[in-house]
Amino acid sequence: MINAFIAPERLLLGPGPTNTDSRVLEAAAQPTIGHLDPAFQGLMEEIKEQLRMLFKTKNLMTMPISAPASLAMEMGLINLLEAGDKAIIAQNGVFGGRMADIVKRAGAELVHLEFEWGKPVDLDVVAEAIKAHPDAKMLGFVHAETSTGVRSDAYALCALAQDAGMLSLVDTVTGLGGIEVDVDGWGADVVYSGSQKCLAVPPGLAPITFNERAIEAIKSRKTPVQSWFMDLNLVLGYWSGDGARSYHHTAPVNALYGLHEGARLALEEGIDARIARHKNAYDRLAQGMAELGLDFFVDAEYRLPQLNTVTIPEGVDDAAVRARLLDEYDIEIGGGLGPMAGKIWRIGLMGGNANPEAVEKVLSALREVLGQ
Ligand SMILES: *Cc1c(COP(=O)(O)O)cnc(C)c1O
């Protein structure tokens, strides 16, 4: 017989998922109800309202996708792009690379701008590319690049796209709930996030928002979106309100109870207070790292407080350190992705873990493990 699964208790200080508040888990453990039950439809409306507040947008088309954030990325791109359209993708880490891959798979023409990992997207290079490709339909970039711990300037990048009459698509999977996200202030057209990073909700849901310009562009497509599940026109019928709701797919009912409670927690705390808390946790970590003689991989100006990349000191065994942290201290930190593997650690201080105790725990564990 197979025994019941008992999850170990870990302190999740990697690139996500982060630990979830007991209020979120308790909310998700409530009885399942039908996804077309009027009570559930009321919940859906409230979640849309909560996400608008968190994203800072008035966009009606704001909802959680029933999937991890990668699907929100793909959904945004394949709805905006038809075969033969041109898209500019600015890549400075792993996730921008995925955008580029999706653009190619959609049969669109890719203008691929690649920037040094650990540096933000260079505005001048993007401005040049926009000038050289005035026929491009959109610009895509990652606001908070989780593979390197770098923040790019979403205000400036969205403005460059808008001034050129192009659409902008912004990945703020790691940004939402941890640093400033200002969808309407940015003038961004499509923006998406994920549940498991600074919102501190279990993985598997992806908030996304489309403004009127994006919806116009999607409605005026000449060809249908190649994916049935991700076709915004069809999803719209399910998530748009006022009794017009039609069956599209069965929403992950209990997971959405959790998202609702997680968003309530974030809004109760207040967005600004939450951002300040993430910044304070980073300040403490930075101080402790300096005491341990550890260096950040990213210049201070562009660092994400919620995802800290640390240069692995010469002669230190990356995998062995992370394994000891997990086995002996129940602390998970992240390793480097792609070309950063073995070069950096990624210490996430996301959601509830952006607190002094979590910072002290990881610093004291690192002190002991590295001291030997
Ligand atoms: C985590 C992450 C994703 C993908 O999220 P999943 O939920 O794993 O699909 C996309 N972009 C960025 C910047 C991320 O940090």
What is the pLDDT at residue 237?
75
**Contact yes or no for 363/285 (Cβ under 8 A):** yes
Is the model's pLDDT at 240 over the cut of 90? no
Q: Ligand 1 centroid vs 83 CA: distance in angstroms?
A: 25
Q: Pick the residue whose CA is nearest to atom 14 on ligand 1.
A: 173
Q: What do you get for the CA distance between the two ends of the chain, in Å? A: 42
Is the model's pLDDT at 242 over the cut of 70? no
Q: Pick the residue whose CA is nearest to atom 5 on ligand 1.
A: 69
Is the model's pLDDT at 357 over the cut of 80? yes
R_g (Cα) of the chain, nearest Å: 21
Ligand 1: which atom is nearest the Cα of residue 73? 10
What is the pLDDT at residue 214?
98
Q: Ligand 1 centroid vs 197 CA: distance in angstroms?
A: 9
3-state SS assignment for residue 124? helix
Name residues whose C-beta falls within 8 Å of residue 114's C-beta, 6 or more positions apart in sequence.
91, 92
Share of the chain above pLDDT 90, in %: 94
Give tens-digit pLDDT for 12-68. 999 999 999 999 999 999 999 998 899 999 999 999 999 999 999 999 999 999 999
What is the pLDDT at residue 243?
54
Specify which residues 345 forms β-bridges with: 310, 335
The DSSP symbol for 109 reads E
pLDDT, average across residues 124-130: 98
Is the model's pLDDT at 235 over the cut of 90? no
- Location of structure tokens 């002669």: 315
Helix axes 212-219, 69-80, angle to 10 degrees: 60
Ligand 1: which atom is nearest the Cα of residue 172? 13
C-beta of 171 in contact with ligand 1 (< 6 A): yes
Structure-token pair, residue 89:
């993708």
- What does the mean pLDDT of the chain come to? 96
The closest alpha carbon to 66, from 53, 56, 77, 75, belongs to 75
C-beta of 115 in contact with ligand 1 (< 6 A): no
Structure-token pair, residue 68:
């991890």
What is the pLDDT at residue 238?
77
The DSSP symbol for 339 reads G
Pocket test for ligand 1, best of 74, 121, 146, 230 (most atoms within 8 A of CB): 146
Is the model's pLDDT at 247 over the cut of 90? no
Give tens-digit pLDDT for 147-184. 999 999 999 999 999 999 999 999 999 999 999 999 99
C-beta of 195 in contact with ligand 1 (< 6 A): no
What is the pLDDT at residue 74?
98
The DSSP symbol for 291 reads H
pLDDT, average across residues 349-362: 98
**Cα–Cα distance measured from residue 91 to residue 88, given in angstroms and rounded to the nearest whole number:** 10
Is the model's pLDDT at 121 over the cut of 60? yes
C-beta of 231 in contact with ligand 1 (< 6 A): no
C-beta of 70 in contact with ligand 1 (< 6 A): yes
Structure-token pair, residue 146:
């989780």
Give tens-digit pLDDT for 207-225. 999 999 999 999 999 999 9
**Cα–Cα distance measured from residue 325 to residue 347, given in angstroms and rounded to the nearest whole number:** 12
What is the pLDDT at residue 233?
87
Is the model's pLDDT at 245 over the cut of 90? no
C-beta of 16 in contact with ligand 1 (< 6 A): yes
Q: Ligand 1 centroid vs 271 CA: distance in angstroms?
A: 21
What is the pLDDT at residue 372?
64
Say whether the peptide bond before residue 17 is cis (omega within 30 degrees of 0): yes
CA distances in angstroms from 296 to 24, 116, 197, listed in the order given: 33, 16, 21
Long-range pairs of 133-137 with CB within 8 A, sequence gap ≥ 24: 133/86, 133/88, 134/164, 135/86, 136/86, 136/87, 136/88, 136/111, 136/164, 136/166, 137/80, 137/81, 137/85, 137/86, 137/87, 137/108, 137/166, 137/167, 137/217
**Contact yes or no for 96/72 (Cβ under 8 A):** no
Is the model's pLDDT at 135 over the cut of 60? yes
What is the pLDDT at residue 241?
60
Specify which residues 140 forms β-bridges with: 89, 169
The closest alpha carbon to 44, from 267, 245, 268, belongs to 245
Q: Ligand 1 centroid vs 293 CA: distance in angstroms?
A: 30
C-beta of 208 in contact with ligand 1 (< 6 A): no
**Contact yes or no for 232/63 (Cβ under 8 A):** no
Lowest-pLDDT choice from 23-27, 235-239, 256-260, 334-338: 235-239
Helix residue ranges, H only, the chain: 22-28, 38-55, 69-80, 94-105, 123-132, 154-163, 183-186, 212-219, 232-239, 253-269, 271-292, 318-329, 356-371
Pocket test for ligand 1, best of 174, 198, 306 (most atoms within 8 A of CB): 174
Structure-token pair, residue 306:
């919620």
Give tens-digit pLDDT for 270-322. 999 999 999 999 999 999 999 999 999 999 999 999 999 999 999 999 999 99
